[in-house]
Amino acid sequence: MAWTRDQMAARAAQELRDGFYVNLGIGIPTLVSNFIPPGMKVSLQSENGMLGMGPFPYEGEEDPDLINAGKQTITELPTTSYFSSADSFAMIRGGHIDLSILGAMQVAENGDLANWMIPGKMVKGMGGAMDLVAGVKKVVVVMDHVAKAKDGTIEKKLLRRCTLPLTGARVVDMVISDMAVFTIDKHGLGDMKLIELAPGVTLEDVRANTEAHFEVALAKAA
Amino acid sequence: MQKVYSDATSALAGLVKDGMTIMCGGFGLCGIPEALIEALKESGAKNLTVVSNNAGVDGIGLGRLLETKQIAKMISSYVGENKLFAQQYLSGELQLEFNPQGTLAERIRAGGAGIPAFFTKTGVGTLIAEGKEVRAFDGEEYVMERGIVADISLVHAWKGDTEGNLIYRKTARNFNPMMATAGKVTIVEVENLVEPGQLDPDAIITPGVFVQRIVHVPNATKHIEQRTTRKRETA
């Protein structure tokens, strides 16, 4: 029942297309790079100033001057280029990046996204997320369907309206959770649509865990 | 005019005053001007406003200036890895202005280029746009952001010549080139200091006009925040 982190990443990888320039967020989105289909050319952009990100280095070959936006040591490829933060966000804001895959705390049915702060509690900051969702052509959110607190209470994350401060208004095109896949028309033409269920997850399960209104548009019985 | 100073302390001497705005290059701990930050700490200057994407981590980089409470305000995009920062902010000791990372980079670029303001779609409809002018261009909404300049910019480069021409290395470039342009006084620490003529003019990222003071910091300590590796395939 429900998708694992790797299965969610693999589902997100189905949104990749040959020749895409892609920015992957921290966490599950980073795993998407493990599922790039063989033979497909995808260039990974890291907003700290690199295009053409390679895999993690072999032990002993880590370079402190070569990190991704998650501050992890990485390597370069023959296609790699380096640039300043201003040039990096010219790529992002200027609409030159095809796909951004990132995590979220809340997503609303109109495409609003919240993932950068909880007032009075968490002050990590938005980093590059606001620029990414504002400028990248397609925005895919990968997240757990609900948030489970330590005391066992469950908070819904797919909402009618976000209650946390927004990262972007009407920016999300697709949500991949551990239970289902939804599409959103961020121009407000039509409702959020449920297009896929994870194996073993029923429509009733999704309804019970989702506050947002959605239209059921499943291709076939899963 | 001689731009080269013998060490970080003398490079800052006579410049730093309480209440100044200081820009500080780096992304996480990558490409931070660590020797200059240490000299800034030693200067004892207080009530500083620091513009930097991050605030170091506990005990390293700008984290050291948080310990001594020399920073009154940070302008940053992400401070996730710094516990002391979160603590000082939540207790009200430290002011914090969050800027989206691309907006921060562009504000600095604009400031250095003599552009007082610009419009961006980043942050429209969020807290970031509150109190700022929003204007529609070609049917889309944009928020006005201001260019920023600093009293002093602290920059880290890989190679520099005595003219102040600079080359950065890999992702240690990040905010350093924009900050070099946006300081009323820009002070650079270079890992390798060479004579004019030894850098390929086509490879220079920051021309020397932006740089007022240079200090040679060979064998700079470099830190890794997240050491991630992969297994070697066995033959």
Contact A82 B31 (CB under 8 A): no
Contact B127 A82 (CB under 8 A): no
What are the pLDDT digits (tens) for A30-78? 999 999 999 999 999 999 999 999 999 999 999 999 999 999 999 999 9
Task: Mark residue A49 as left, alpha or beta (left: phi above 0; alpha: psi -120 to 50; beta: remaining).
Answer: left
CA dihedral sign of residues B51, A118, A160, A180? positive
* Arithmetic mean of pLDDT, A180-201: 94
Contact A166 B98 (CB under 8 A): no
Using CB atoms, pick whichever of B123, B169, B178 lies closest to residue A84: B178
Q: What is the pLDDT of residue B220?
A: 85
Active site residue A47: yes
Interface of A with B in 151-180 (CB under 8 A): 165-170
Q: What is the pLDDT of residue B144?
A: 98
Q: In angstroms, what separates the C-alpha of B197 from chain A's closest C-alpha?
A: 24
Q: Give me B77's structure tokens.
A: 């995009």
Contact A64 B81 (CB under 8 A): no
Length of chain B in terms of residues written: 235
Mutate to test the interface with A, among B90, B228, B234 (most CBs of A within 10 A): B228
Instruction: Give one DSSP letter per residue of A34-50, joined into a string.
Output: GGPPTT---EEEETTTE
Asked casually if ipTM beats, i.e. exceeds, 0.90, the reply is yes
Residue pair B177/A90 in contact by the 8 Å Cβ criterion: no
Chain A contact for B109, CB < 8 A?
A: yes
Rounded to whole angstroms, how far apart are CA atoms A87 and A109? Answer: 33
Judged against a pLDDT cut of 90, whether residue A190 lies above it is answered with no
Using CB atoms, pick whichever of B77, B79, B168 lies closest to residue A123: B79
CB atoms within 10 A of CB A207: 11
Tell me the chain B residues in contact with residue A73 when contact means C-beta distances shorter than 8 Å.
224, 226-229
Q: What is the pLDDT of residue A122?
A: 78
What are the pLDDT digits (tens) for B101-121? 999 999 999 999 999 999 999
Rounded to whole angstroms, how far apart are CA atoms B96 and B55? Answer: 11
Chain B contact for A26, CB < 8 A?
A: no
Contact B225 A76 (CB under 8 A): no
Extents of the domains making up chain B: 4-116+147-216
Residue in chain A closest to B120 (alpha carbons) equals: A93
Tell me the chain A residues in contact with residue B79 when contact means C-beta distances shorter than 8 Å.
123-125
Rounded to whole angstroms, how far apart are CA atoms B21 and B52? Answer: 11
Q: What is the pLDDT of residue A221?
A: 52
Average pLDDT, chain A: 95
Q: What is the pLDDT of residue B33?
A: 98
Tell me the chain A residues in contact with residue B104 when contact means C-beta distances shorter than 8 Å.
85
Rounded to whole angstroms, how far apart are CA atoms B17 and B23? Answer: 14
For chains A and B, what is the number of CB pairs under 8 angstroms? 179
What are the pLDDT digits (tens) for B61-83? 999 999 999 999 999 999 877 88
Residue in chain B closest to A74 (alpha carbons) equals: B228
Residue pair A222/A199 in contact by the 8 Å Cβ criterion: yes
Report the DSSP pairing between strands B140-146 and B150-161.
unpaired
Q: In angstroms, what separates the C-alpha of B101 from chain A's closest C-alpha?
A: 5
* CATH number for region B4-116+147-216: 3.40.1080.10
Chain A contact for B30, CB < 8 A?
A: yes
Tell me the chain B residues in contact with residue A129 when contact means C-beta distances shorter than 8 Å.
100
What are the pLDDT digits (tens) for B166-196? 999 999 999 999 999 999 999 999 999 999 9
